[in-house]
Amino acid sequence: MPVLVLASLLWGTGLVQTPAPAPQVQVATEPVRAAESDAARTQRLRALVEAAEKALEAEDEETAAARSDEADVLTADWSLELLKQAEVQGLLQRLKEVQDQITEEETPEAEPGLKAPDEVVSISGDVLRAEQELVRSAEQGATYDYPIDLNDKVLTWVSLFSTAKRGFMENALGRASMYLPMIRQVFAEEGVPSDLAYLAVIESGFRNEAKSRAKAVGMWQFIRSTGRIYGLTANAWVEERRDPIKATRAAARYLKRLYEITGDWYLAASSYNAGPLTLDRAIQNLGTRNFWDLSRSRWLRTETKNYVPELCAAILVGRNPERYGIRIAPLVPYVYETVTVSKMTSLTVLARCAGTDAAMLKALNPELLRGSTPPGTYQLRVPPGKAMDCLRQLAHMPAGQRLDFKTYLVKKGDTLARVAKRFKLTAEDLLAANDLTAKQFRPGKRLLVPPPPAVAVEERYLASGTGGGKALADRPLPPLPAAPRDLALPGESPEKVEEPVQASASVPLQPAPMIPAEAVPPPVAPSPAPVPPAPSVSILHAKPGDTLAKLARSHRVSLGELMRLNPAAAKTLHPGDEVRLPSGPGEPGAVSEARTHRVQRGETLAGVARKYGVDPSDLKAWNHLKGDRLRAGQRLQLSPR
């Protein structure tokens, strides 16, 4: 996603504090520098932003780009507390505008996805009517959990996908056959419309190795700052933006957060492309939240104006490709087992242990940047049925045979920083690879040198000496359970459902019974699943300002379930519209059993609202509060009187 997204709009209630960056390892011969204050850092950022703006005014794009890159390096390891400060947010917004201008003035390059930088002329007349008839025929009663407006812009992109861009679509949807079962499952777990899986067509064509000229990486095209906020680590060993499962989980959470901010899936998708601040500025200037009105204004770039029509068309074509004349060669679903590798080990060694080849391990673990696992413990994915053999081999392997690295003899005059830079590592990474401290680095020491990265490690990482942190996901991502065989999109027949993605099987080190047969299910003819009884529902009427996300929070129900029960309201909810809420046994309660709350010392309005799953503004309205301050002993109503 080619934008600099400001962190302040993306913090949800589930975010945790990012740990302070690890201290830099100092070489004994170098003086230890005092930690720089937040005020000094902010002043340095201001100087770089102002220098970039002046260079852009003087039409010196090269200097502007250099100052912009320096600002990226400077902020790469800043804590979330510092990024939250209003002064820093304003500087980052100005930096984003500089970067947008530089990107627009560059010569367009071939991008991995289909984000169109130029205006596309809509079809009209008989061609438009013919295309609409084709879409109506292809749908055949299919339903979608993402809103589709069948207007001339969407139909134009449908026509392009089935004609001029047919080759790209065939390749992209072929790759999609490998990942769609996993993506749909993750999106279902996170409460995101499963049709949004086809957003990866626009972003990257379902390619994990995709990288845009704006340095967005992976299937979901995260820039480094947004990836960091949503728990994706980047260092000299791994780039989690390239990992299909971790990045999909992050994309689902990001899209869900954008929907909670905007209350509209078209605006959420536009924010994914342009950034929430850009979209909010367009809404404020035009006074409308209708995407099609925004798309006719000058406040959005052409790429963002094309984004929603492209996505709607990708969903229509991706759901029924054969009806648009697109031929797909399906790939084997992304299935694997996991092996816990306790020490850094070469992929060639692991491939021999697993009875496969290094290329297969790289395909299953695309986040690995070098020809080995990183220092420390790593969960390696191996082909189904290979985990037990791999673990048995590793259990009896001497430590000296785990690495096939080259060696380097430290010479007189070498410094830790210089040697690390020579091999495209940071000082910390080089020390970790050799289990050394900075004091043990001295002439005559023989070092193991990891292989060069298979893909370019971002220079900003090497310059800043930090690998990025985890914000949203300090907890590990849970393994995916086996997907049910009836995991079909609404309107699809069970015969079209891809094979399910498998959970990563944790295999013990000691000999154990055979891996369960369900780890790799035999091909069976899928049968229609029994239809579960419809849950009982209750009806309420929307009030001004209500959105499904807001109602889901206030009534403590799943956003995904609320969208399923109210497909028409997923796009726009008007005052007075009926909203169906699940209220049967086993469903989340429509309202918390507690009706009142006595304020304890130190509690805040936001904290009480979060505790009971209600909106702070509703809590203020129900209790006739003029401000956000609470007093100890005060009793609050938790629902309308």
pLDDT tens-digit profile of 515-565?
Answer: 333 333 333 333 343 444 444 567 888 888 787 777 876 777 766 667 778
User: Count of CB atoms within 10 A of residue 255's CB?
Assistant: 23
pLDDT of residue 396: 86
Give residue-wise pLDDT tens across range 411-438.
988 999 888 888 887 787 788 778 788 8
Poorest-pLDDT segment among 225-239, 333-347, 442-456, 521-535: 521-535
Helix (H, G, I), strand (E, B) or coil at 542: coil
CATH code that applies to domain 406-449:
3.10.350.10
Is the pLDDT confidence value at 309 over 80? yes
Is the pLDDT confidence value at 594 over 70? no
pLDDT of residue 219: 96
What is the average pLDDT value for the chain, to the nearest integer?
77
pLDDT of residue 596: 82
Mean pLDDT of 483-497: 35
Q: Where in the chain is the domain with CATH 1.10.530?
A: 125-208+243-324
CATH code that applies to domain 537-637:
3.10.350.10
pLDDT of residue 103: 58
- How far is residue 635 from each of residues 57, 169, 555, 593, 624, measured CA to CA in Å? 57, 59, 20, 16, 12
pLDDT of residue 458: 54
- What are the residues facing 636 on neighbouring strands? 597
The two three-digit tokens of residue 351, written as one number: 């491939």
pLDDT of residue 617: 78
Element (H, E) at 171: helix 166-190
- 565 or 39: whose pLDDT is higher? 39
- DSSP letter at 401? G
CA geometry: angle 373, 22, 477, nearest 5 deg = 50
- 345 or 568: whose pLDDT is higher? 345
Q: Where in the chain is the domain with CATH 3.10.350.10?
A: 406-449, 537-637
Give residue-wise pLDDT tens across range 76-108.
667 767 877 888 888 887 887 787 676 554 434
> Length of the chain, please?
641
The two three-digit tokens of residue 19, written as one number: 């740990």
Give residue-wise pLDDT tens across range 110-154.
446 788 777 788 888 999 999 999 999 988 878 899 999 999 999
Is residue 323 left, alpha or beta, with left meaning phi > 0 and alpha meaning psi from -120 to 50?
alpha
Mean pLDDT of 584-593: 39
Is the pLDDT confidence value at 51 over 70? yes
Is the pLDDT confidence value at 601 over 50? yes
User: Domain 125-208+243-324: which topology?
Assistant: Lysozyme (1.10.530)
CA distance 126 to 518: 53
Assess contact for 638 and 554: CB atoms under 8 A.
no
